[in-house]
């Protein structure tokens, strides 16, 4: 009996010792030799995307020649202009002749329409009225004669052949009256189709005259806003031809960088996001910016890497000065997310295993793996939302921690 008791006790001790070592193996910590660690600290973190672009004026007036003629005045390149100031004047003899011809056609069409309605037909109309009145009087006289002879025939005073002769005369007078009435109506109410054609011809002539007037108005061009002449492609005395770009005016106090954002980053940008703008032509200054325009659709553009699908966007330059100029190339960093007082560790301190992010926590000379939840990250740091506290230390290179399987710290 005692022997059996000793065996049971021995087995129990062995089980207890085995369980201890299994527990220890599961949550084992390792003593830290001289391995570099970093401390989790609070700070600001932002996530940025970078895009290349070109500086342009957000407000721009391009002046194309609408007519052919000799330039009599043009603002000089670099000239400051005020809103409403004359910046281009073209003199066109051809346009003056075109105006005179268009005006003459309008007058002619108006005269023809007037004649059709009440001009040269006035005499014919008056004559038709006289004929109608005469035909009406003759018909009424014939009708009275017929009615009187009808009574005499009924009394047997005249033969039937006399009454039929009078009736034929009445029919003739009635037919003459119908013809006179129709002629009068035609003159009083001209043919609707002819009227419509004349009216359409007049409207077309008036439309053409208005177009010529608009061309004349475009012979003098005025600045649409306060700005600077950025480009001048013609000089006084030269002949301007329609469709040619003659001037370009821009507002240098309202600049923006037009960028192409690749399709992978496009979902991250939003109107109002802040940006930092730099470039080789800016000296050492970095300008602040704000996203002000995002294209509603993507497009394919040629880059150094070949064809890429991009979304076009524009970033306004805040407080531009004379250092930054239209046409400069620029690098734009857009802040797509940021956090103040975030708990931060270097990005290299985090490893990912089976879809879980982990760090190696170091405490009192020991270390162990711990699962964490990450937030914003950039090229250097990552925000830790859950699983780590401010002041805790983590191994700078988690690979140096070896094969750790749990967290006893």
* Alpha carbons 352 and 373: distance in angstroms, whole number: 11
Lowest mean pLDDT among 17-21, 193-197, 376-380: 17-21
Contact (CB, 8 A) for 53 and 330: yes
Domain boundaries, the chain: 49-58+251-339, 60-92+219-249, 98-191
| CATH fold label, 60-92+219-249 | OB fold (Dihydrolipoamide Acetyltransferase, E2P) (2.40.50)
Cα 238 to chain centroid distance, Å, stands at 36
> Reduced to 3 states, what is the DSSP secondary structure of residue 204?
helix
- 108-136 pLDDT per residue, tens: 888 777 776 665 466 777 888 899 999 99
Whether the per-residue pLDDT at 209 is higher than 80: the answer is: yes
* Alpha carbons 117 and 207: distance in angstroms, whole number: 22
- 280-329 pLDDT per residue, tens: 888 888 999 999 999 999 998 877 778 889 999 999 999 888 788 999 99
Beta strands 329-346 and 69-74, pairing class: unpaired
Mean pLDDT to the nearest integer, 258-275: 93
Whether the per-residue pLDDT at 1 is higher than 70: the answer is: no
Q: Which CATH architecture has domain 49-58+251-339?
A: Beta Barrel (2.40)
pLDDT at 284: 85
Cα distances (angstroms) measured from residue 366 to each of 332, 362, 372, 402: 45, 6, 19, 13
Which two three-digit tokens encode residue 57? 């004026």
> Of 26 and 287, which is predicted with more confidence?
287
pLDDT at 23: 27
Whether the per-residue pLDDT at 206 is higher than 50: the answer is: yes
Give the CA-trace dihedral at 52, 53, 54, 60, to 10 degrees: -160
Whether the per-residue pLDDT at 409 is higher than 70: the answer is: no
Give the CA-trace dihedral at 186, 189, 190, 193, to 10 degrees: -110
* Alpha carbons 337 and 223: distance in angstroms, whole number: 41
Mean pLDDT to the nearest integer, 39-68: 92
Mean pLDDT to the nearest integer, 223-230: 94
Question: Which DSSP category does 409 fall into?
Answer: -
The phi, psi pair for 122, rounded to 5°, reads -60, -45
Confidence at 33, pLDDT banded by 50, 70, 90: low
């Amino acid at each position: 009996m005692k022997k059996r008791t000793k065996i049971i006790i021995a087995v129990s001790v062995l089980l207890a010792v085995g369980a201890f070592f299994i527990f220890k193996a599961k949550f084992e910590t390792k003593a830290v030799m001289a391995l570099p660690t970093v401390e989790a600290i609070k700070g600001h973190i932002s996530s940025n995307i970078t895009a290349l672009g070109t500086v342009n004026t957000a407000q721009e007036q391009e002046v194309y020649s609408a007519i052919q003629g000799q330039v009599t005045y043009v603002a000089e390149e670099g000239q400051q202009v005020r809103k409403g100031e004359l910046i281009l004047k073209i003199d066109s003899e051809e346009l003056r002749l075109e105006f005179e011809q268009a005006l003459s056609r309008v007058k002619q069409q108006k005269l023809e329409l007037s004649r059709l309605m009440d001009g040269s037909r006035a005499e014919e109309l008056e004559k038709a009225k006289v004929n109608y009145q005469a035909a009406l009087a003759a018909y009424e006289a014939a009708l009275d004669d017929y009615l009187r002879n009808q009574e005499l025939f009924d009394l047997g005073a005249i033969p039937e052949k006399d009454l039929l002769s009078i009736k034929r005369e009445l029919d003739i007078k009635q037919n003459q009256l119908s013809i006179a009435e129709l002629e009068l109506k035609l003159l009083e109410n001209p043919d609707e189709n002819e009227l419509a054609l004349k009216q359409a011809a007049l409207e077309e002539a008036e439309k053409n005259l208005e177009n010529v007037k608009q061309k004349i108005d475009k012979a003098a061009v005025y600045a649409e806003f306060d700005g600077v002449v950025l480009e001048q492609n013609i000089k006084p005395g030269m002949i301007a031809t329609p469709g040619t770009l003659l001037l370009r005016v821009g507002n240098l106090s309202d600049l923006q960088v037009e960028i192409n954002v690749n399709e992978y980053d496009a979902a991250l940008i939003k109107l109002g996001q802040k940006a930092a703008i730099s470039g080789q032509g800016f000296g050492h200054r970095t300008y602040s910016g704000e996203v002000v325009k995002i294209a509603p659709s993507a497009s394919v553009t040629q880059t150094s890497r070949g064809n890429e699908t991009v979304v076009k966007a524009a970033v306004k330059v805040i407080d531009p000065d004379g250092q930054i100029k239209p046409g400069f190339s620029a690098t734009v960093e857009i802040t797509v997310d940021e956090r103040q007082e975030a708990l931060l560790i270097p990005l290299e301190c985090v490893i990912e295993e089976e879809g879980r992010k982990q760090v190696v926590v170091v405490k009192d000379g020991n270390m162990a793996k711990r699962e964490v939840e990450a937030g914003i990250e950039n090229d250097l740091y990552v925000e830790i939302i859950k699983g780590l506290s401010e002041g805790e230390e983590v191994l700078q290179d988690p690979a140096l921690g070896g094969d750790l399987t749990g967290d006893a710290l």
